[in-house]
Amino acid sequence: MRKLLINILTLVLISFGSFLLSCQKAAIKTAPIAALSFITNITATSVSTGGEITASGGATVTDRGFCWNITQNPMISDSKTSNGSGNDSFSSSIIGLMLSVTYHLKSYGTIIIGTGYIGESRWT
């Protein structure tokens, strides 16, 4: 009888935990906004950049950084930095760039429901 009671209690706790997680996912409706703050120290093969998480729908950002490509609309599947987690500002130095190439850059933030990007900058 005691074993049955423990099994039932375990099942109730697991169900309640699953319910809470599903409520949290439902409450978050949009991906975060990661605003590109600056591009500085542009050299022939590197650039310094900064960004800031300006909105996250109440969720903690689990990954943030910058993505770039030589084509428009870069995404995290292209080249990227990963600047940790958190809902605040971040910066990075991007090195190993090619000479005389136009690059497109975006900042990004990732939460449980997806990745958000905002704006796009480019430089040569």
pLDDT, tens only, 35-73: 888 899 999 899 999 999 988 888 999 999 999 999 999
Confidence of residue 32 (pLDDT cuts 50, 70, 90): confident
Q: What angle do CA 11, 16, 21 make, to 5 degrees?
A: 125
pLDDT score of 29: 72
User: How far is it, in rounded angstroms, from Cα 51 to Cα 39?
Assistant: 9
Confidence of residue 2 (pLDDT cuts 50, 70, 90): very low
10-14, 60-64, 84-88, range with the lowest pLDDT: 10-14
Mean pLDDT, all residues of the chain: 81
Domain segments of the chain: what residues?
1-28, 33-123
CATH number of 33-123: 2.60.40.10
Phi-psi region of 84 (alpha: psi -120 to 50; beta: other; left: phi over 0): left
Instruction: List, as one string, the DSSP characters of 34-52.
Output: EEEEEEE---SSEEEEEEE
